[in-house]
Amino acid sequence: MTSSPATSQAAGTDGRTVLRQLTRVLGAVIVLLVIWRVATVGLAEGYPASFWISQALNGLVLGGVYALVALGYTLVYGILFMINFAHGEVMMIGGITGYFALQFALARGWMEGPWAVVVFALLLIMVIGMAASVLIGVALERLAYRPLRQAPRLVPLISAIGASLFLQYSVLLIFGVSPHSYRKPALISGGLRLGDVFIPYTGAIIFITSILLMLALYFIIQRTKLGRAMRAVAEDRATASLMGVDVNAVIVVTFMLGSALAGAAGVMLGFHNTVVKFNSGFIPGLKAFTAAVLGGIGNIPGAMFGALILGLIEAIGPSALGIPTEYKDVIAFSLLVLILIFRPTGLFGEVLSEKKA
Amino acid sequence: MLILDSVHTYYGHIHALKGISLTVNKGEVVTLIGSNGAGKTTTLNTISGVLPTRAGAIYFQDSPRSAGDGSPNARDIDIRLDRLPAHDVARLGVSQSPEGRKIFARLTVQENLAMGAFARSDPEGVLHDLERVFELFPRLKERLSQPGGTLSGGEQQMLAIGRALMSSPRILLLDEPSMGLAPLLVQQIFQIIREINAQGMTILLVEQNAQAALQVADRGYVLETGNIVLSGPAGDLLANPQVAEAYLGI
């Protein structure tokens, strides 16, 4: 930027250049501080390798769940340029509904049956959770966002926050404050031991299921007529409608896909955390949003990788930085602030700026 | 085939079309010429349903296609377009190649063409039309797996027209196909418009390049600030001193 000495440039441009340099220096300082802290505190503790591997595996499991939720944020942003801040609640509804489906299965004794019955019951629980989330997601689009489609961009955002609170406190009103606990069937409560590393079955199942769902979504987006229409609508709504694409229908389908993934994530997070309650979608929702921003919002592979990276950072971070695990949320949200300052387009590129053009 | 009956369109409070009436008959090339901001693009977008018609009516009539082409969507059409959303207008066979080409930059050329055929459910017909598009624009065949955004301006224009043809339209609306192209390419594009018309396509052509447009057209309309001020056979308009002075730069 200093190589083009345009004499007529306004003073404001110089100011911005200085600011950008300062930001860069600040970024380097932060990175150095983190490295220094990791080297002097985290590594100095002398944890065995198996400890780090276990943490990393935990991180991937959590990252997989975040990825499913992050995809919902990114899909909706890609098409409507709005952040669906009620998306965490869409996930929570899936978790709550999954809990009742699980109770139903437990009451029928399905969870103690032969493994085929247990697997079927688990799948059924997930599908029911997904269906509930889809219903809520579609209702949100229809009632909270579509009427505001022509409004300034801040307005649907406010509506989203309102919807988020509405859903949380409706669930609170109906199901109470106390957490509902997921009881794992015996079949999946054990784990694998590889040397010193213990891999719980639920973790493995959650990770594999997340990956499969992400592959399914990627296939839909990249290889089907519907996915092509979604990408076309994301690029240019009016032109897509000239091709005979019903833009509203595509938007609804986008909400359905994102919500289905969130519902699956809600059920899996229920099994992972063992409890769900009215606000258990809030923090994971924000984390998934962070992951989507980390990868570059609107960018689908970005959301997947951003979430896995966030999961890893959150799992390894506290030990590496030598701070209590209770502060892992601080790490995630500090990361959000840092990305927004230093790389607002996320790790995977220019999608945001390209679309604004 | 297409009849606009004193159509009014607004952008917010701006009265953009002030009672436009025009007719396009089957098999014709009709051109709509006029200077920047006269309402040419607005007219096409009103027909396509992208902009709502505030007053007046747009009629679209067509007899079933000849039995020979075996198209499953052959049917008698007599419909008011002004009450339909854009995607339904497109599904009826009113296909627009929009101003500025509006290629889906991140979709490949192949995907862009597939988007043109979005509403169709006759795979053989789609393949047949794809071959036809490749005959008209051999360049596109070489660029199939490239993102649309990486094409040159001329190639993008070919893709935009090809994409519009992929819907197997009954009428083709072309908005400024010569915009921003080198003179040689402009000639080529108009040659192709002639060819498409010779194959039986009805075309409504919007152009700033009045000279070239009137040379391919059967009839023309001159638009000025939302009103049609002049109309007639293309030859008459070419010879009209008013048109010559205002639009042909003579």
Q: How far is B235 from chain A (nearest CA, A)?
A: 32
Lowest mean pLDDT: which of A47-56, A115-124, B44-53?
A: A47-56
Per-residue b or e along A163-194, where b marks 16 or more CB atoms closer than 10 Å to that residue's CB: bbeebbeebeeebeeebbebebbebbeeeeee
Reported confidence tier of residue A27, pLDDT bands at 50, 70, 90: confident
Average pLDDT over residues A137-142: 96
Within the 98-157 window of chain B, which residues sit less than 8 Å (CB to CB) from chain A? Answer: 98, 102, 104-107, 111, 114-116, 118-119
Nearest C-alpha in A relative to B166 = A243
pLDDT of residue A264: 96
DSSP reduced 3-state for B152:
coil
Reported confidence tier of residue B231, pLDDT bands at 50, 70, 90: very high
pLDDT of residue B67: 45
pLDDT in tens, B146-170: 999 999 999 999 999 999 999 999 9
A-B contacts at Cβ under 8 angstroms: 67
The number of CA neighbours under 13 Å toward the Cβ of A108 is 10
Within the 70-99 window of chain B, which residues sit less than 8 Å (CB to CB) from chain A? Answer: 85-88, 90-91, 95-96, 98
pLDDT in tens, A327-345: 888 888 888 888 888 888 8
Report yes or no: A226 at the B interface, CB cutoff 8 Å.
no
Question: For residue A191, which phi and psi values (nearest 5 degrees)?
Answer: -170, 175
Q: Is the pLDDT of residue B184 over 70?
A: yes
Report yes or no: B48 at the A interface, CB cutoff 8 Å.
yes
pLDDT of residue B74: 53
Q: Is the pLDDT of residue A51 over 50?
A: yes
User: Is it true that domain A22-27+63-356 has CATH number 1.10.3470?
Assistant: yes
ipTM (interface pTM): 0.90
- Among the partner residues B90, B98, B107, nearest to A228 by beta-carbon distance: B107
Domains, chain B: 2-96+169-247 (3.40.50.300)
Reported confidence tier of residue A350, pLDDT bands at 50, 70, 90: low
pLDDT of residue A39: 82
Provide the 8-state DSSP code for B32: E
- Nearest Cα neighbor of B97 from B79, B80, B115, B81 is B115
Interface contact B118-A231, CB threshold 8 A: no
Mean pLDDT (chain B, rounded): 91
Six-digit token string for B134: 């490749």
Could you tell me the CA-to-CA distances from A248 to A229, A338, B44, B112, B130 in Å, in that order? 12, 36, 22, 20, 28
* B96 contacts on A by Cβ (under 8 Å): 242
User: Rounded to an integer, what distance in angstroms lies between the CA atom of residue A120 and that of residue A126?
Assistant: 10
* A231 contacts on B by Cβ (under 8 Å): 104, 106-107, 111
- Segments in chain A forming alpha helices (H): 11-37, 49-80, 87-107, 115-140, 154-175, 201-223, 225-235, 237-242, 247-273, 282-295, 300-321, 328-342, 351-356
Residue type at position B222: V
Residue B9 bridge partners (DSSP): B17
Reported confidence tier of residue A351, pLDDT bands at 50, 70, 90: very low
pLDDT in tens, A83-98: 999 999 999 999 999 9
Lowest mean pLDDT: which of A15-24, A187-196, A248-257, B59-68?
A: B59-68
Lowest mean pLDDT: which of B62-66, B100-104, B202-206?
A: B62-66
Q: How many CB atoms lie under 10 A from the CB of residue A114?
A: 10
pLDDT in tens, B41-86: 999 999 999 999 999 999 998 876 654 454 555 557 789 999 999 9
Domain parsing of chain A, residue ranges: 22-27+63-356
Any idea which residue has 């709502």 for tokens?
B52
Long-range Cβ contacts of A208-217 (<8 Å, 24+ apart): A209/A64, A209/A126, A209/A264, A209/A268, A210/A64, A210/A65, A210/A67, A210/A68, A210/A264, A210/A265, A210/A268, A211/A64, A213/A68, A213/A261, A213/A264, A214/A67, A214/A68, A214/A71, A214/A304, A217/A71, A217/A257, A217/A261, A217/A300
Reported confidence tier of residue A326, pLDDT bands at 50, 70, 90: confident
Ramachandran sector of residue B101 (left: φ over 0; alpha: ψ -120 to 50; beta: rest): left
Q: Are A294 and A352 in contact (CB under 8 A)?
A: no
Mean pLDDT (chain A, rounded): 88
Reported confidence tier of residue A347, pLDDT bands at 50, 70, 90: confident
**To which H or E segment does residue B218 belong?**
none
pLDDT of residue A278: 93
Q: How far is B86 from chain A (nearest CA, A)?
A: 6
- The larger pLDDT score, comparing residue B7 to residue A48, is at B7
Nearest C-alpha in A relative to B115 = A243
Average pLDDT over residues B174-203: 93
pLDDT in tens, A262-283: 999 999 999 999 899 999 999 9
pLDDT of residue A4: 45
Report yes or no: A150 at the B interface, CB cutoff 8 Å.
no
Six-digit token string for B24: 């396009």
Any idea which residue has 């090809």 for tokens?
B162
Q: How many CB atoms lie under 10 A from the CB of residue A100?
A: 15
User: Rounded to an integer, what distance in angstroms lies between the CA atom of residue B4 and that of residue A28?
Assistant: 64
Average pLDDT over residues A149-168: 93
Residues 6+ apart with CB under 8 A from A6: none
DSSP reduced 3-state for B223:
strand
* B118 contacts on A by Cβ (under 8 Å): 225, 228-229, 243-245
Residues in chain B: 250
Q: Are A206 and A268 in contact (CB under 8 A)?
A: yes
